[in-house]
């Protein structure tokens, strides 16, 4: 692990913010590192308000999208709400379809089959619309690159409204409206919405036409917060507001489908991290193991008993998914070990039997293990399909773009992408990808990095300090959980390896002039020697609470320790 300290803001700025907010220098530094320099910015950060959301009509084509939907309603057209099979797509479809059904009855949903249609808009989906007399398709979390498919639909008399957040190509589809804040000609102030977030802006615009406000739409924010967490978009700006109020809904009055998922784990108050690791995998499991329709049905269901039934089915899919990804990960690790004869900068592996629904998870696990840009391929029809995952600060989307001569199609983000190619092009692609990455990557990026916000002593960690830290939530990209570094620590002498297989490290750290504090280091049992016999050590960690037999106390959640 590389440890780096974030740059410290100018002393004059720290002092000014300290005075304005009446906080200590550590908290002022943490806020400045998050771009918060004034009292007003701090107020917006600590007290998010729905009034801080932007006018949806600032988004390019929003007026066209609203006009086309209103025309469809007036003319009694059939509307098909179409979305991808992952969490962002299925929450988007549930959001848009349930909102439209409060106004209009002729609304149906469509999720493509991961296995015979693949990602995004498909000809099969358009033909379904054609055969069933749909004349308007609202596509969510996909469509920004579907130039030919949108043109094909138009020829058949079907209009598209596209609500996407992925990077556009050189050409924009000729749809009735294309909502995507990443369009170069879109001046919408916040560029990092997820697909469900763009869908929410559309229903906000429709509601405004009816004389309603965003306060009338809070019941949909549990879906938006779930998508924000699952899609790993930055949690600042508008996303922070949407995630904050979405979590409030999840924790006070979630829709029956999300409530049924929470009943399975008996958790009372969820953070955005809980959404990512508890709610999202279950929603995703439907599209991975069976069909994304199951997730939409659960999320749109209003009857609590039926929601419980659907959630139970989806939990079974999630259990299947866990077993499958564990087996494939083991096979993938073995394949890499057998292939590795020379130093490589990438991991690219393939097995035609691997389950397409879990290769993205496997790619993530392999990236954690070997820490280099990773692609996992499987057979998909007559092509090969892959999930790609990157390491921090390396743009895998751009790297794939440099290999495009070998690829049929690809799409995605800086850190995660998907692609298809012909089997005969696999070896050439594999070499081209290795060549591009080895030529362009900063070799430091191949060593995992822990960025600490600031160095502090243990005496800084008080209940009052932690109460303020908690208000930095919800955490995520661009607003990560604060990480601290502390030097000159020793264990009180009772440190030990814990857990069923003794893989975790538990100790009580002490420092001159500071109270002792319990530390837990998950999967750090192999570092016991560093703290044994009261040897001095340094640590990077976050602060959280530990609840044991009704008692709540502060503890350090270790990220790494060194001599």
What are the chain's domains? 2-7+450-562 (2.40.50.460), 56-313 (3.90.1640.30), 340-446 (3.10.310.30)
Which pLDDT score, from 0 to 100, does residue 239 have?
Answer: 97
Q: Which helix (H) or strand (E) holds 140?
A: strand 134-140
Residue given tokens 């690159």 in the structure block: 145
253-305 pLDDT tens trace: 999 999 999 998 877 789 999 999 999 999 999 988 889 999 999 999 999 99
List the beta strands (DSSP E) in 265-414.
Answer: 347-350, 374-380, 383-389, 409-412
- In the three-class reduction of DSSP (H, G, I as helix; E, B as strand; rest coil), residue 276 is classed as helix
Q: What is the largest CA-CA distance in the chain?
A: 79
Structure-token pair, residue 168: 């556009």
312-357 pLDDT tens trace: 999 999 999 999 999 999 999 999 998 876 789 999 999 999 999 8
Residue given tokens 């005075």 in the structure block: 19
Cβ atoms of 364 and 390 closer than 8 Å: no
75-94 pLDDT tens trace: 999 999 999 999 999 999 99
pTM for the model stands at 0.90
CB atoms within 10 A of CB 94: 30
471-526 pLDDT tens trace: 999 999 899 999 999 999 999 989 999 998 999 999 999 998 888 999 999 999 99
Q: Is 294 left (phi over 0), alpha (psi -120 to 50) or beta?
A: alpha
DSSP one-letter code for 103: T
280-290 pLDDT tens trace: 999 999 988 88
């Amino acid at each position: 692990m590389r440890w780096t300290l974030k740059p410290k803001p100018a002393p004059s700025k720290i002092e000014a913010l300290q005075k304005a907010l009446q906080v200590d220098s550590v908290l002022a530094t943490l806020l400045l590192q998050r771009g918060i320099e004034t009292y007003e910015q701090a107020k917006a950060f600590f007290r998010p308000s729905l009034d801080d959301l932007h006018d949806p009509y600032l988004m390019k084509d929003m007026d066209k999208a609203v006009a086309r939907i209103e025309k469809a309603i007036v003319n009694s057209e059939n509307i098909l709400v179409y979305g991808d099979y992952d969490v962002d797509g299925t929450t988007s479809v549930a959001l848009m379809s349930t909102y439209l059904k409060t106004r209009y009855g002729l609304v149906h949903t469509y999720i493509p089959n991961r296995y015979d249609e693949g990602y995004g808009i498909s000809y099969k989906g358009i033909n379904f619309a054609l055969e069933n007399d749909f004349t308007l398709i609202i596509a969510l979390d996909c469509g920004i690159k579907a130039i030919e498919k949108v043109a094909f639909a138009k020829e058949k008399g079907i209009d598209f409204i596209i609500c996407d957040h992925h990077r556009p190509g050189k050409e924009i589809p000729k749809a009735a409206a294309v909502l995507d804040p990443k369009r170069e000609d879109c001046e919408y102030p916040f560029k990092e919405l997820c697909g469900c977030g763009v869908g929410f802006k559309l229903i906000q615009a429709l509601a405004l036409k009816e004389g309603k406000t965003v306060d009338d739409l809070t019941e949909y924010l549990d879906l938006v917060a779930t998508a924000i967490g699952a899609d790993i978009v930055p949690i600042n700006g508008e996303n922070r507001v949407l995630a904050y109020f979405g979590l409030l809904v999840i924790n006070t009055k979630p829709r029956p489908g999300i409530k049924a998922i929470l009943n399975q784990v008996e958790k009372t108050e969820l953070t955005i991290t809980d959404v990512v690791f508890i709610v999202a995998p279950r929603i995703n499991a439907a599209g991975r193991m069976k069909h994304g329709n199951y997730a939409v049905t659960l999320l749109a269901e209003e009857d609590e008993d039926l929601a419980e039934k659907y959630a139970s089915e989806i939990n079974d899919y999630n259990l299947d998914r866990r077993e499958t990804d564990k087996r494939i990960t083991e096979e993938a690790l073995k394949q890499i070990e057998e292939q590795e004869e020379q130093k490589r900068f990438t991991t690219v592996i393939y097995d035609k039997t691997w389950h397409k629904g879990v290769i993205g998870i496997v790619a993530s696990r392999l990236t954690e293990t070997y820490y280099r840009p990773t692609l996992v391929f499987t057979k998909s029809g007559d092509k090969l399909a892959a999930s790609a995952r990157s390491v921090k600060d390396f743009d895998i989307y751009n790297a794939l773009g440099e290999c495009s001569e070998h690829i049929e199609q690809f799409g995605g983000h800086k850190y995660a992408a998907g692609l298809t190619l012909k089997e005969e092009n696999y070896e050439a692609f594999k070499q081209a990808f290795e060549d591009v990455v080895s030529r362009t990557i900063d070799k430091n990026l191949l060593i995992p990095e822990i960025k600490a916000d600031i160095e502090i002593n243990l005496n800084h960690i008080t209940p009052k300090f932690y109460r303020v830290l908690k208000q930095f939530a919800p955490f995520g990209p661009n607003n990560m959980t604060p990480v601290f570094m502390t030097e000159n620590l020793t264990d009180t002498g009772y440190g030990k390896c814990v857990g069923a297989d003794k893989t975790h490290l538990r100790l009580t750290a002490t420092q001159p002039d500071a109270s002792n504090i319990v530390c837990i280091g998950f999967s750090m049992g192999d570092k016991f020697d560093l703290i044994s016999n009261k040897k001095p050590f340094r640590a990077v960690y976050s602060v959280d609470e530990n609840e044991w037999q009704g008692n709540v106390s502060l503890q350090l959640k270790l990220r790494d320790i060194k001599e």
